[in-house]
Structure 1
Amino acid sequence: MRSVAFFFFLVAVKGLAFSQSYPTYGPEIPVTVAGLTFDAMEPFLSPDGNTLFFNSLNAGGNTNLYQAERVNDTTFTFGGLVNGTYDPAPGHLDAVASLDSDGHFFWVSLRSIPNLYTGNYLSGNVADISPVYGTCNVLTPGWIIMDAAIDPGGDLLFYSNGYFGPTYTECVGVPCEAMLGIAQKVNDSTFDKTAYSDAVLENVNDTAYLVYAPQVSGDGLELYFTRLLKTGFDTEICVAVRSTVADAFSEPAVLYSNYGFFPEAATLSNDKQRLYYHQKNEAGVYAVYMRYREPATYAEESGNNISWALYPNPAKDVLQVALPDASAPFIIVIRSAAGQEVWKVSNSSSINISHLASGRYYLTVYQHGRTGTKEFIID
């Protein structure tokens, strides 16, 4: 009864003005997984932020789940296989990890239909493994769960149903259809699609796209996902937002696209300050990248207690940035008064600005997982 009432509430509020702002993120930073010698795809950051899960190359089989332990925001130490998830069958696929705050672990597998699995994760091991049953599964031949993400509380499962044809071979490389759904926990191994799922995701499930790789923020207000135009070649990492958990998600905003490098599978830290995802690097190997969340506005002296200075101000040809720890890696981004990025440099405190037009600008420093922004003028 509660689900039905919630559904009618969503219908009633449909069409009201939407005021929630979209998050923005700073420049891309490569993530180092020390000891890793192969591709890393579909990253997932554990709710406590200490473990990065990922899988090896997902290209038709023999795909495994791995884990790495946090050293800092952009460095992890490779820890090997996620024990208990390995399938020795030829052509196996175990991928797309997710974990709630109570240690319930989820991943997709090709070992059976239903193909979403769950178990209990502790200290690098998954035990008590079972398929996930319920109406989150489309049991018509050709459909599988491509990706799934459990919310940190473990009550809601966000998933993508993908259709590959009646014998699972008709849609080559990518599915013919893919759309998101929301399922409510019945018990540890059963999740049923909610009555309000379609209404909540109406703006997200655009039939012109394949929509997959969902991740929801801990507060339930931001939904990250990847989409691919059915007639296109360019993946897009998107976000849809809402003001309360009783609202439908907004029309999505594209956070990042990089033609030919296939960015996908965003995962968010529990404090919403770090966004991780995979894409190909210049060598053609899939790797993990990270971006820090930006402040909502570019207010002068904004930031997270970084003590730093820039001079001269106003400036003409060269701008100097003075940091208390200039030996640590940092990134500097300059934006116009309209918010457009006009310059980016790494680990250089002397910046040539002679090519920029006169006017007001904002300079943001990214270092040690923190940011600081100052306004300056070019004469």
Structure 2
Amino acid sequence: MEMSVRAAGVAWVRQAASTTLSGLVSSRAAGPDFLRALAILLVMLWHLPRPATPAMLEGLKQYGWTGVDLFFVLSGYLIGTQLLAKVARGQKVNFRDFYLKRALRILPAFLVVLAVYVFLPALRENPTMQAPWRFLTFTMNFGLDYRATGGFTQAWSLCVEEHFYLVFPVLVLLLSRLRWGGWTLVLACGVLLGGMLLRAALWEDAMSAPLADNATASLAPAYLEAIYYPTYCRLDGLLFGALLAAFKAFKPDLWRRYGDPRWTLVAGMVAIALAVLVFHYPATPGFRGPTLTLVGAVFGYPLLALGCACVLAASLEWERAFGAWRVPGAGTIAILSYSIYLTHKLSSHATELLFGKESMNGVGGFALYFVSSIAVGAVLWAAVERPFLLIRDRMLPPARATNT
């Protein structure tokens, strides 16, 4: 018995080692992978040290934070597809399988990185951070002041997604048992309008504080704490992603008729352009990039989410437009995106400790930042994330092409 268990363990290790990134890339959807790669690169650009930022990317850097909103739309769609496709086929939602898959997908890499932050404080990009229990309970995005507890702050978006994972399956179950399908639209409109009204209500208190001095963004810390980080203000992207999944699952005929990538891409770009306009209205002298306005806080996020959802819809028809062609490297970056997201701030700080702060200057600093961040993410993926995904696939039948 002992020998058979050992042999099984050796076989599993060999399987994990022999599974190459290139093999995984070829089995995934090219369109969503391109957007996932774009999202993580935008986030990395947002956190890129300013001395290492090329002049040609200064304007784009101001919008690097939108990569998180794109991640939200992708998550809403992918999780929505997993659950809603089953409901559309008349199958039941298996809560145990869903939550176990999510846990094995999210927790191992997250806990390893959290342990590094807790037990190796010298590697933190900021000497202070919230108490570990706030991370373990996924509540650190509430009352988050990056000036006081700035370590591992990127985990705020993971908290939002975890809350979505917990609640969305229950909503799917409840809505699937209601006779009138219109309740889905009623709930969606309630979430959308409720978020807009809530951000409007929080605006006055948030903007009573002075703007941040940080030259990388015209964002007030109080605004981030009250409006940007909390889950209840940031559901737009997840909502539009889930609605896209519902439309594709329950209205396939309409999807085939109106899902032409030429129109959805144009609609998406128009919505994103409108989001940029409302984030800039009225223009604030002396600031570049997104400015803090009531119009932007209320309307900017849903417009951005709508635009990302339309672009995602166009990407789902990638093969129709581009055939088998893929953007070189996009699939690899997409696979590594979660591990990169968790570690890129640690990696950047560790690089500065190793080579000196002056290493993060100019073109060399730009290349060093991205190469080191991707390399560290690849190590975490190979050592932790991928092995646990193999465990998940052994325990549970893998979902069809969900890229999760």
TM range (shorter): under 0.3
Q: TM-score, normalised by structure 2?
A: 0.23
Query: Which of the pair has the greater relative contact order for Cα pairs under 8 Å at 6+ separation?
Result: 2
TM-score, L = length of structure 1:
0.25
More strand by share: 1
